[in-house]
A and B are shown apart, each in its own frame.
Chain A
Amino acid sequence: MDVSRTYDVLILGGGNAALCAAITARRAGRSVALLECAPKHFRGGNSRHTRNFRCMHDAPSDGLTDTYPEEEYWQDLLKVTGGETNEKLARITIRFTATCRKWMAEHGVRFQPSLGGTLHVSRTNAFFLGGGKALINAYYRAAEALGVEISYDTEVTDLNIDDGRFMSALAVRHGIEQEVRAKTVVAAAGGFEANLAWLREAWGPAADNFLVRGTPYNVGRVLRILLDKGAKSIGDATQGHCVAIDARSPKFDGGICTRVDCVSLGVVVNESAYRFYDEGEDFWPKRYAIWGRLVAGQPNQIAYSIIDAKSVGKFMPPVFPPIKAATIGELAVALKLDASVLESTIGQFNAAVRPGTFDHTVLDGCATEGISPPKTHWARRIDTPPFFAYPLRPGITFTYLGVTVNERAQMMLQDDRPSPNIFAAGEIMAGNVLGKGYIAGIGMAIGTAFGRIAGEEAARCAA
């Protein structure tokens, strides 16, 4: 970054949305600088942890099977958000996903047939070959080749905004603060999911036990500045994507491999060795996003998924080995739970299991009767040693609180005027489309669509 010049377009952040904006603006002939606060090795924000994105399509292509029409996509989104979405922006995103794969491929992104173990999403989601980091690497290569000036280890610490108009940014690189000037700015610096203090404000002390699945660099600094300097907010701070992951995962950046997929095959107990929710309510992919909140609501935010030998090999292998014991009592000791309570919880559960034909691929008829909470599908007795347990904690994926934008990706001010030269893309504005709930692959869809729109509009504005 060159502090003596005024760039046409300044990009804040270095993930998918930032790169889509940078490449688009640069291809329109503008001078572009991109500030990424992570070092090169950890560049790419949460985008480096992704694996697919949700695509509308009217014929099979890029590993996508069958069709996924606009209307169905919209209805899926409407359902999970319970209406907390802006239809105009949502439809822009959806339509974008029908055509943007060609652009992505031109800039080095490759697709592949869906992953083993995730076939249920091959109709709706296109998978990145090698995952999100491969996508990010391809975009950085393309951006560099086009002449985008990339600056790593560069944290944006303040923005000079005058009556909704961006003037310059302050950025700290290797301890030195510098002022970077540009005609326009694209804020694509993610959410605040790695900001433990902010999470605590929203969630209370429970947040101390959250694990952050993605990058430690998304502390919401740019979001905070924009909200403090006149941006109109969207969503609220308690909304986010939070799943149950292995409690032994790293505090940050554990990514995809920390997930535990056996909840629906067994039972889940809390620290007091009691069950607390129907483990078989629906297919796991449809339910895993509620288990983060469920575990967050338990004492000390910890829970244990317990299965027996019958379930071994029936789910995606987790990254950490299970805790194993020959009896339920010994398992309780290994988990530091009250053995007699756990024995009675499992005993009551086993006694409540009704006969049925177990089939994990359908909503089968195996259910419990007479206990609370019930287990409404896939209820089988936990009676075949050895017994296994995986400890669970809430793992936060991303937050939805953001800035409001219009269909040109312009950031809206509190008085409902669009800012003339501030644009926003990606997670920092995802709440416009996804105010609540989650459908797999929507994050990258929003970032790609609004990243490119922001890049295009910023380029036009700087012309």
Chain B
Amino acid sequence: MPPSAIPAALVEEGQRMASICNACRYCEGFCAVFPALERRLSFAEGDLTYLANLCHNCGSCYYACQYAPPHEFQLNFPKMLAEVRGESYKKYAWPATLSGLFQRNGRVVSLITAASLVAFVLAMLFFSDPSALFSAHSDSQGSFYAVFPHRAMAWIFGVIFLMVTAALIMGSVRFWRDIGEEPATFLSPGPFAKSVDDAARLIYLGGGGDGCTYPDDKPSYARRRFHHLTFYGFMSCFAATGVAPVYHYVLGWSAPYPFWSLPVMLGTLGSIGLLIGPAGLLWLKERRDSALTADSQTGMDVAFLVLLFIVSLTGLLLLVLRETAAMGTLLAIHLGVVMGLFITMPYGKFVHAVYRFAALVRFHVERRRPSPGLSAE
């Protein structure tokens, strides 16, 4: 199915703004967007979606712009890029029939999460003995699997994981093609490694050395710090999920694991990061200069952050209360929310990680190509 195109008016507006920036270039030192823009003389739709996904909406180029509203050029570069970015998520979504999920994404994500929560509770009631669900278990009894069979849990999450991975890979393939790159260049070792490094350190959230202008015009590192907590929290939880099956299948140990075990430590630390990080990002978002936010996307951003927060909150509660009678209910809630998070990953804010990373790889790939022949004026 052909990807839905970005509205022509938005593309035109993007071209107008990019041409002004290309003639001005004052913002070149802020981020990767401007060096990438300067390699071009004109801007096709794919160029704009590439630039849009390189931008992390730090706002520096808005506050520094002598053409920002109320100037008659009405240049709000970050907001335009945010709008293009939002449209690009729809454009590259796979399968394309689901691209509509990006519309009113906040509501969609909440509904899907609520539905998976209900499904889990019902499934538990159906599969296991209700009395087990509402009574206390000691760790030694393999309490989780007393209320929910391990095999069912593994199957459900295994299948969702595969579907999500497929959707994300297909999305990035569509993005990569649309911006005009060959599949093979994605794995060029140098650019790939450089992009991993950039992303791991969030170097562009450093602005020009004092941090980004987020949430307002004063440079600050707050966003980078909260994002680091969120990202590494997420990765740590992800690692915990990866270690657990090894314990289960290879070593033959059943969950729940003791507090000092690797999966629990990773999960606990990760969850703490995932509590503070998203809470901080939400707090900053609340204070964000409204001139820079694309209204249509606030729901999507908030839904994702709230979901991360609830996942880690319920995960931590589960750890603390796992030997009490609340465990069964908490487990159902936790798993329900985790499932909601997973299912909506390819159709929500999470995709920014995928496209942004791909855009960074493109940036480093391009940098190794000769610059188009501008004579040194």
Contacts and interface: CB of A to CB of B under 8 A. Distances in A.
Interface string A117-141: 1111000000111111110010001
A317 B24 contact: no
B66 interface: yes
Interface string A93-112: 00000000000000010101
Given A112-B208, A255-B24, A316-B23, A131 B66 contact: yes
A118 B218 CA distance: 28
A257 B377 contact: no
A117 B71 CA distance: 25
Contacts of A255: 24, 66-67
A314 B217 contact: no
A431 B43 CA distance: 43
Interface string A414-442: 00000000000000000000000000000
Contact of B376 (A117, A141, A312, A318): A117
B25 A117 contact: yes
Interface in B17-32: 19-20, 22-30
A44 B338 CA distance: 51
B370 interface: no
B41 interface: yes
Nearest to A41: B70
B28 A115 contact: yes
A250 interface: yes
A256 B75 CA distance: 14
A137 B26 contact: no
Nearest to B70: A41
Contact of B23 (A48, A129, A259): A259
Nearest to A118: B377
A203 interface: no
Nearest to B27: A130
B374 interface: yes
Contacts, number: 117
Interface stretch (B56-64, B310-318, B326-334): B56-64
Contacts of B68: 41
A130 B61 contact: yes
Nearest to A39: B70
A119 B20 contact: no
B34 to A, nearest CB: 8
Nearest to B375: A360
B377 to A, nearest CB: 5
Given A41-B70, A48-B66, A313 B29 contact: no
Given A41-B70, A117-B25, A250-B72, A313 B208 contact: no
B252 interface: no
Contacts of B61: 130
27 contacts: A42-B70, A110-B208, A115-B26, A115-B28, A118-B377, A130-B64, A131-B24, A131-B64, A131-B66, A132-B26, A133-B64, A133-B65, A134-B26, A134-B60, A253-B66, A253-B72, A256-B24, A258-B23, A284-B377, A313-B374, A315-B375, A317-B22, A317-B23, A317-B41, A319-B20, A319-B23, A319-B24
Interface of B: 19-20, 22-30, 35, 38, 41, 60-61, 63-73, 208-210, 217-218, 372-377
Question: Which 7 interchain pairs have the tightest Cβ spacing?
Answer: A131-B26, A112-B29, A130-B64, A257-B23, A319-B23, A134-B64, A129-B208
